[in-house]
Structure 1
Amino acid sequence: MAGRKPTVTDGEIISIFESHEDPFLSTAEVAEELNFSQQGTLKRLQSLESESYLSKKKAGGSLIWWLSRE
């Protein structure tokens, strides 16, 4: 991945989903947990989706994310 070195591992992002009481999270909610910008968080979530760790759906004006079953 080009750009600056990630300060949070993929496993740490996945653990946010595993430990959260809701079955899905918005990009903004994950960004808040990570203390990242929404743009930076979106890139990381898209990367995890491309590796089949996460799934997404647009709801209203937001993307929501959840752990894939694969």
Structure 2
Amino acid sequence: MTRPILFDLDGTLVDTPNAIVETFGATLTSLGVPGVSPEEIRSTIGLPLEKAFAQLIGTSAPAATVEAA
């Protein structure tokens, strides 16, 4: 009989806040969005992705840029 194993990945095996900051930063850089600090990115953790990127990119960004993110 197979026995299931349950474990906590988030914050236990993976440092997700740092991974999120790194991947958001790389994405923003690839889109040509300058000057977004790790602290600004960290402040969006937990928001839906569309809202987080819209906040980080700024409301003046074209919709296509927000969509690309």
The verdict on a shared fold, with TM-score over 0.5 as the criterion, is no
Q: Which has the higher strand share?
A: 1
Q: Which has the higher helix share?
A: 2
TM-score, reference length from structure 2: 0.31
Structure of greater relative contact order (alpha carbons < 8 Å, 6+ residues apart): 1
TM-score, reference length from structure 1: 0.31
Larger radius of gyration: 2
